Chains A and B, each alone.
Chain A
């Protein structure tokens, strides 16, 4: 069975691990212990479930798409993570981590963000729990996601510009880790995807498992069966693992979609960065390459270690799409269903649109991981 717990050394197959400075090892070990205990504790689960329901608005609906299905020539269902509070799936993970951090006695949350969705979610949870919050964001992303920067500041978070390297998500993670190395005693690093050192890839997946659980149940109700294909965009890969977890033990084909400019599975080789061993875009000497994507949230040269494992064993398949295909898909969903998607899930839709022939006669479930408000300015400039 795929997608079980990692081994005691934090591995999914050959991938994962805990490659962090010694300073952080005790914190990672304490976090693993705290998460393991909390996750087995019914009262923690209940507290989190209440937050997810009453604060974040779960369960998120499953939408059957009539006009889009007609346009694509096969049946399409959307898991509506865009309707969660703060506008994306990121809130599931953040509420879990913030609750855990509070129980661990931490008073400050540190986060990185690409598109700003994870940063907004973290700033939101910090406001809710009365914690301090600092969010690192690449200089380039601060510019293209100005709305989210404003939202984070409004929520009381400090947004710090990461000016090194490619000035995007990868560099924001470097800065967040450097902050954590210095503040580990009172700060929790609220990592935003299924990457980083053990236990993050496992813990973040578990906090997003709710997407898959709900979707599985909703599919039984709506379709009376499982979809044939389940697809999601992959930056680090958290929304994808969330929805995959509900279908990994079914016959459904699992398809992760990466931007062509940040396709860790296609263009990557095994490497170690940000705490784990996974597929990574790097040069022949191990210098990490800069990803390039229209979407700030997918602009990452790596991929979570469990995705590397799923790709390696062939349980999931990974596709890549170009920026221009994404722009088309962004408009397609807006026009046919009245749903403006975030640029990230528009990647998965772009693949669906390209793969029409292959998908004919099938039922496809797309994880619509976020809504497109944050991308409106950028798209306005592009589309005029």
Chain B
């Protein structure tokens, strides 16, 4: 079993080659209306979509994503339920899951990789599985072409960064600040710095995530990065019951702002 290779990377490159900036929205899987939100984001200019699989102890996540997680978990939605629902999607935009390693470990590495494949999911982002511990998962994932996106942080040393960029698939996820997910009033300077550091050593797409919550912040960081990931600001719309359409129009806003520059 192997999927069309490098689906995420190719989709992002396509955007970059035409002079555009990439936009990857994050949507909490299992939340009311999330399937419609995925469609809405895809139709509004997302280049890839990250789907969160809730975990009981998400240490990289701030209050917004934690809250959405808790709501999904309280409804007893399982990771498999989410993967099976995604399986039915008719969507061109490539998908990645974002979850924590224990979900994968408990599922079984190969079984999880196969489940992703069967659901048509191209990538995996596991924020608590650093490169040092990732070998087994990367092996299992690459068996069927799943792209494991690695995270680079402001604290990452130059030597690690090189190794990390070399091994990341799909894109390099540059963590924009020292901290957890959540909307911030201003773009952290560290976002531009880490994007620049990654760009100088890799030709893979470099996207900044964590702390990007407005169209302006997206544009600002994309002056250096190839694009960004927007999570909490989108999930907040779902939490506020603004519905999947609001996710679509917000993604369209960011898309338009990115395209202006």
Contact = CB atoms under 8 A, between A and B. Distances in A.
Given A271-B102, A272-B101, A22 B178 contact: no
Interface stretch (A70-78, A114-122, A176-184): A176-184
A112 to B, nearest CB: 12
A288 B107 contact: no
Given A20-B130, A25-B130, A25-B160, A286 B59 contact: no
Interface string B49-66: 000000111111010001
Contacts of B196: none
A94 interface: no
Interface string A162-175: 00110000100010
Given A17-B133, A165-B56, A181-B179, A26 B103 contact: no
A284 B106 contact: yes
B60 A181 contact: yes
A286 B106 contact: yes
Contacts of A285: 78-80, 103, 106-107
Contacts of B133: 17-19
Interface in B156-170: 156-157, 160, 164
B178 A183 contact: yes
A17 B137 CA distance: 15
Contacts of A282: 102, 106
A178 B57 contact: no
Interface in B124-158: 127-133, 150-157
B57 A22 contact: no
Interface in A281-307: 282, 284-288
A5 interface: no
Contact of B59 (A181, A183, A271): A181
Interface in B79-96: 79-80
Nearest to A277: B105
19 contacts: A18-B132, A21-B130, A22-B153, A22-B156, A22-B164, A23-B175, A25-B156, A26-B155, A164-B66, A164-B70, A174-B59, A181-B180, A273-B57, A273-B102, A274-B59, A282-B102, A285-B103, A286-B102, A287-B73
Report the 10 A-B pairs with minimum CB-CB distance, sorted nearest first: A286-B106, A182-B179, A23-B153, A287-B56, A286-B102, A22-B153, A288-B56, A272-B102, A22-B151, A177-B59
Interface in A200-252: none
A185 interface: yes
Contacts of B73: 287
A184 B178 contact: yes
Q: Is the interface of A mostly helix, strand, loop or mixed?
A: mixed
A271 B180 contact: no
A181 B102 CA distance: 19
Interface of B: 55-60, 62, 66, 70, 73, 78-80, 101-107, 127-133, 150-157, 160, 164, 175, 177-180
A275 B59 CA distance: 10
A290 to B, nearest CB: 9
A273 B160 CA distance: 24
A174 B57 contact: yes
Interface in A49-72: none
Contacts of A25: 130, 132, 153, 155-156, 160
Nearest to A164: B66
Nearest to B154: A23
A286 B55 CA distance: 8
B160 A19 contact: no
Chain A interface category by residue count? 35 or more
Contacts of A286: 55, 79, 102-107
B6 to A, nearest CB: 22
Contacts of A271: 102, 105-106
A27 interface: yes
A22, A170, A177 interface centre (most CB from chain B within 10 Å): A22
A164 B128 CA distance: 19
A381 interface: no
A41 interface: no
A17 B106 CA distance: 16
A9 interface: yes
A274 B57 contact: yes
Contacts of B103: 285-286
Contacts of A170: 57
A185 B178 contact: yes
Contacts of B151: 21-22
B160 to A, nearest CB: 7
B125 to A, nearest CB: 11
Contacts of B150: 22
Given A286-B102, A288-B102, A21 B178 contact: no
Given A20-B128, A21-B127, A26 B157 contact: yes
Given A21-B153, A182-B180, 11 more contacts: A18-B132, A20-B59, A21-B130, A22-B151, A22-B153, A25-B153, A165-B56, A165-B70, A174-B59, A277-B105, A286-B104
A19 B156 contact: no
A21 B105 contact: no
A323 to B, nearest CB: 24
A27 B127 CA distance: 16
A19 B132 CA distance: 9
Contacts of A182: 177-180
A273 B129 CA distance: 11
Interface string A23-59: 1111100000000000000000000000000000000
Given A174-B57, A181-B60, A181-B180, A272 B128 contact: yes
A274 B128 CA distance: 9
Given A23-B175, A181-B179, A287 B55 contact: yes
Nearest to B127: A21
B50 to A, nearest CB: 16
A233 B60 CA distance: 31
